[in-house]
Amino acid sequence: MTRFLPAEDYLPSGRYELLPFRFERLEGERVLLSNMAGEALTVSSADLTTLVNGDLDRSGALFSRLRANHFLRQPEDRAALELLALKLRTRYARLRDFTSLHLFVVTLRCDHACRYCQVSRQSADRASFDMSRATADRAIDLLFRSPNQALKVEFQGGEPLLNFDLIRYVVLSITERNRQHKRDIQFVITTTLSLISDDTLAFCREHRIVLSASLDGPEDLHNANRPRPGADSHARFVAGLEKARDVLGPEAISALMTTTAASLQRGPGIVDEYLRLGFHGIFLRHLSPYGFALKTKSYQGYDTARWLEFYEETLTYIIDLNRSGVRFTEQHAAIILRKMFSCHDPGYVDLMNPSGAGIAAIVFNYDGGVFASDESRMLMEMGDDTFRLGSVHEHGYDEIFSAPALLSALEDSFTLSAPMCADCACEPWCGADPVYHHARHGDPLGRKAESGFCQRMKGMTRIFIKAMEDPFVAALFRRWALSC
Amino acid sequence: MAEDNGLSVTLDAQAYDPWAVHQAAYRLSDRLAIQVAIDGNTIQCTLYPVTEGTNSHSLLVARADFLREVTDQMLRARIREATEPVRTLILAYTFSRSGLQK
Amino acid sequence: MLTLNGKALAWGGSAERTLWKLTSNPGLPVVLREKMAFLQRGDGPLPQGFGAYILPPEQQGIPPCTHWFHLPPDFAYLAEGDIISVNAGRIRTLWRQNSPHNAVLLTERCDNNCVMCSQPPKNIEDDWLVAEAMDLVRMIPPSAPVLGFTGGEPALLGQRLIDLLALTRARLPTTAVHLLSNGRGFADPAFSDAYAEIQHPDLMVGIPLYAADPAQHDYIVQARGAFDQTVRGILALKERGQRVEVRVVLHRQTIEGLPALAQFIARNLQFIDQVALMGLEVTGFARANLDQVWIDPADYRPTLENAVALLRDYQVPVRIYNHPLCLLGEMAAQYSVKSISDWKNEYVAECAACTRRQDCGGFFSSGARYRYSPSLRPFL
């Protein structure tokens, strides 16, 4: 008859070894730990000390949790190393695919005069501010040089529909040329919807183009942010929205908000407006620094702290909606949570490390200028052309993608070699944002202690971790993360 | 308080690593500018407030924060040192094998 | 519960181990009869020329120089196309043509010793089992949709397992094969290379993982280092493009850690082909260790639902096998498969009025006999 040994006999003996991890202190003597693959746990401050001293009780629940989650191992645990390596490889797999998002700025002309916009021109001068076919052709050449099988083409402006002829030309041209290349291509037009016509919608339906529109909140807020002749931006948006949904289906139109100082008081109201208009989620965007002149440090700090209050309040409101049975997602959270819940990168350009600039996205301006990101373009409108990588008319693919401006921005901002970032527990979920840091601090790395970007990311992660102490929220966040 | 309004903190160079002190200084650089000098067996730190209107009380709080941060940086250095070999091994695995990634 | 092993009431002919495929067709072409056993039903005259005869006890006139058997009533289920192995009067049913659940035992040896093992290991020399399996594979009709290989631990057979699988691929090219293994042998790259080289078109190996904590898994399987080897075996198989199912038996030692295990699988083994959650079979060691492993499934319902929800969110395919439907709850019931081998299946009195028996994952007869949940409720 076989003798069965008790569980105690299978506990490991001898010293355990730490596996690489980072920590950040939270409030109330709690500490956040994250391992090499970006998986997180919270422990008490005392437990952290015990852990590092090698004194953790081998029979305790904490030891088995840390061992199962790859924060420590016994010397005989070989699988842990292979699994961590696998997870790391998954995290960086996206790099191989290279540039996916290609923005075509087809015109700077716009019917709106949004207060935070830096680029649009109130002008009828097509020649000066529209992209030409010649420029488009060269940009398309560069597009197909990308090794990525999946390409996303996004039309930006101004108001892109004001140059719809060029959009039509680009879509048809790319579709035709793609017969040879056989990539998966998705088209998006960012538009206010104020000028959407039946013809435009028919074309969009035919080529499966999706629309990305702006909705800042309830009518008064939206119109105050986004003036146009007739002061009817919101009404036109709603009319355009319904019309577009009738032709393209609701899933084809998404809405983005821009957050201004006025928005900070109105979080729940903004969410309600999205809900009222039939959207199933919202992206609570941070205040963009580009619409304002560079401010003093203190203003910037106030901004981030105040924004985090707005964010937490609005997120709580959204969670409560879900509690009451309404499915509504906060998409900014979903993107960050995806990085916390899995090793699969959501591909959100602004939160990538190495930076998404160039690697994930590239911008072709109306005049053929090539930029590392949309923010880079806006920076140039403010007089700083640091991140202008060249021109489609003068430079080839290699010159653009190995432009010193791009390479040094990527290298200098790489978080794993950046002070503070290299030690930060949130690093796996964060990103490098060289353009922001250049604009704010004068170098791509920035001074993280003063960085609004850093404060925002740390602030948001803390909010998520606290909220997930509630099992309902943990399950909700997991669903958001894994379906985004 | 030092003459120029800075707060002095003296650390034993045997007990603390200057690198950890610099890292801590960097982390707090939104609130404090910290001058570091090595003097034989001690590390002399002088803490200057960055924001205006910092009183002596908040400077003492800042000193407490600084010391705690230095301790944390020492802890980080310890973890880093203990895990450096296995980190290298994992990275070697990461970039050497193929098959599971399609 | 069907009897698969037994003794003939009386028999004649050679004592050598032989496999026989059965037929009740008296008009079978003469050239085919030599290799087959005739299953006599009723009173008709015995057709000549068969290699063996299965006769009712009252049969008069046994043909000379042949094998013949009188079988006990337990074997009355035998039918056309079934394959039996006989050895000096001992009968083992190896293949039932009507059953979707044929599993071939390859060895009783095992390098684990699970506390709830339903097929307790024996340290004996039983290579004849795999030899017999090769003969069986040559006799199974190629139209067979599925075949299972089990043990003990089949990987202990080494090259002989590889040979058997290669033979199965050749002889039964469209039969889906399900192999059960603890996975440890596959951590050896040479062995998993050989396994992958078979290039079987429809082969899956089911590998148990009982906890995310190596110490807990090692305790449940009673082998130090088993977790590490098993996980490395799984990785080796997936690296070579082989299909792997992770199996978890639900009992008191695995339930508490089930959400953590689901999390471990989701974060580390997301490429796994399927996770199979299994109801407990109260036989073998499970019966001996009942006090350690028994838990009323009604008590673990929320934990099970949490684990299933997590795997679902991570898009890891989940199936629940061998589990009474009424104890699962609506959410988990969607993942339940009617699956207990028909020869092990039974229901208890509480199930008599149930309207959903045909959907139910079922009940081990061992459970019916020794212990089952007091929370069973028929659907009405």
pLDDT score recorded for residue B2: 53
Q: What is the mean pLDDT of chain A?
A: 88
* Residue of chain C minimizing CA distance to B99: C239
Is pLDDT larger for residue C310 or for residue A118? C310
* pLDDT tier at A40, thresholds 50, 70, 90: very high
Task: For C36-66, write each residue's pLDDT tens digit.
Answer: 999 988 777 888 899 999 987 777 667 666 7
Nearest CB to A10: which of C215, C260, C285?
A: C215
Q: What residues 35-64 of chain B have any CB closer than 8 A to a CB of chain A?
A: 51
Give the CA count within 13 Å in the CB-facing half-sphere of A76. 14
- Sorted by sequence, the CB contacts under 8 Å of residue A220 that are 6+ apart come out as none
Task: For B59-84, write each residue's pLDDT tens digit.
Answer: 888 889 999 999 999 999 999 999 99
**With contacts defined as CB-CB under 8 Å, which chain B residues touch A86?**
94, 100
CA distances from A364 to A101, A103, A153, B38, C372 (A): 11, 6, 11, 52, 69
Find the distance separating the first CA and the last CA of chain A, reported in whole Å: 54
Dist. CA A452–CA A294, nearest whole Å: 12
Question: Between chains, do B100 and A52 touch, taking CB under 8 Å as contact?
Answer: no
pLDDT for B98 beyond 60: no
Which positions of chain C have pLDDT values less than 50? Answer: none
Nearest CB to A76: which of C216, C225, C314?
A: C225
Residue C162 CB neighbours (<10 A): 17
Task: Kindly report the CATH number that applies to the domain delimited by A98-405.
Answer: 3.20.20.70
- Sorted by sequence, the CB contacts under 8 Å of residue A318 that are 6+ apart come out as A271, A282, A328, A329, A330
pLDDT for B99 beyond 60: no
pTM: 0.90
pLDDT for A234 beyond 80: yes
Strands (E), A47-183: 72-73, 101-105, 150-156
Name the fold adopted by B7-96.
Alpha-Beta Plaits (3.30.70)
Q: Please give, rounded to a whole number of angstroms, the shortest distance from the CA of A393 to a CA of chain B.
A: 37
Question: Between chains, do C313 and A478 touch, taking CB under 8 Å as contact?
Answer: yes
Nearest CB to C264: which of A68, A78, A475?
A: A68
Q: How far is CA C47 from the centre of its chain?
A: 36
Dist. CA A203–CA A280, nearest whole Å: 26
* pLDDT tier at A292, thresholds 50, 70, 90: very low
pLDDT for A481 beyond 80: yes
pLDDT for A267 beyond 60: yes
* pLDDT tier at A20, thresholds 50, 70, 90: very high
pLDDT score recorded for residue B101: 39
Opening angle at CA C171, ends C165 and C177, nearest 5? 45
Query: Which one, of C282, C281, C286, C280, lies nearest residue C299 by Cα?
Result: C280
**With contacts defined as CB-CB under 8 Å, which chain A residues touch B80?**
20
* Residue in this structure with the two tokens 């097929």, named with its chain if needed: C119
* Residue in this structure with the two tokens 């069907």, named with its chain if needed: C2
Dist. CA B23–CA C109, nearest whole Å: 59
Query: Which one, of A125, A129, A122, A107, lies nearest residue A229 by Cα?
Result: A122
Q: What b/e string do you get for C286-316 counting C-beta neighbours within 10 Å, with b at 16 or more?
A: bbbbbebbbbebbebbebbbbbbbbbbbbeb
Task: Indicate whether this complex's ipTM tops 0.85.
Answer: yes
pLDDT score recorded for residue A422: 85
Q: What is the arithmetic mean of pLDDT over A336-364?
A: 81
Question: Between chains, do C271 and B100 touch, taking CB under 8 Å as contact?
Answer: yes
Q: Please give, rounded to a whole number of angstroms, the shortest distance from the CA of C148 to a CA of chain A.
A: 27
Q: Which chain A residues have any C-beta within 8 angstroms of a chain B C-beta?
A: 17-23, 25, 36, 48, 52, 81-82, 84-86, 88-90, 92-93, 297-298, 301, 419-420, 423, 447-450
Q: Please give, rounded to a whole number of angstroms, the shortest distance from the CA of A450 to a CA of chain B.
A: 5
Dist. CA A44–CA C249, nearest whole Å: 34
Question: Between chains, do B28 and A449 touch, taking CB under 8 Å as contact?
Answer: yes
pLDDT score recorded for residue B60: 82
Task: For C308-366, write each residue's pLDDT tens digit.
Answer: 999 999 999 999 998 888 899 899 999 998 766 565 566 677 787 888 887 887 766 67
Query: Which one, of A393, A401, A346, A403, lies nearest residue A98 by Cα?
Result: A401
DSSP, collapsed to helix, strand or coil, labels residue A156 as: strand
Question: Between chains, do A25 and B72 touch, taking CB under 8 Å as contact?
Answer: yes
**With contacts defined as CB-CB under 8 Å, which chain A residues touch B49?**
none
* Residue of chain C minimizing CA distance to B97: C239
Q: Which chain C residues have any C-beta within 8 angstroms of a chain B C-beta?
A: 235, 238-241, 271
Residue C89 φ/ψ region, left for φ over 0, alpha for ψ in the -120 to 50 degree band, beta for the rest: left
Q: What is the arithmetic mean of pLDDT over A253-277?
A: 93
Q: Break chain B into its structural domains and give their ranges.
A: 7-96
- Sorted by sequence, the CB contacts under 8 Å of residue A410 that are 6+ apart come out as A354, A355, A357, A358, A359, A432, A434
Q: Break chain A into its structural domains and give their ranges.
A: 16-92, 98-405
Q: What residues 31-50 of chain A have any CB closer than 8 A to a CB of chain C?
A: 37, 39
Is pLDDT larger for residue C78 or for residue A119? C78
Which residue type sits at A334? A
Chain B: list its partners (3+ Cβ pairs within 8 Å).
A, C
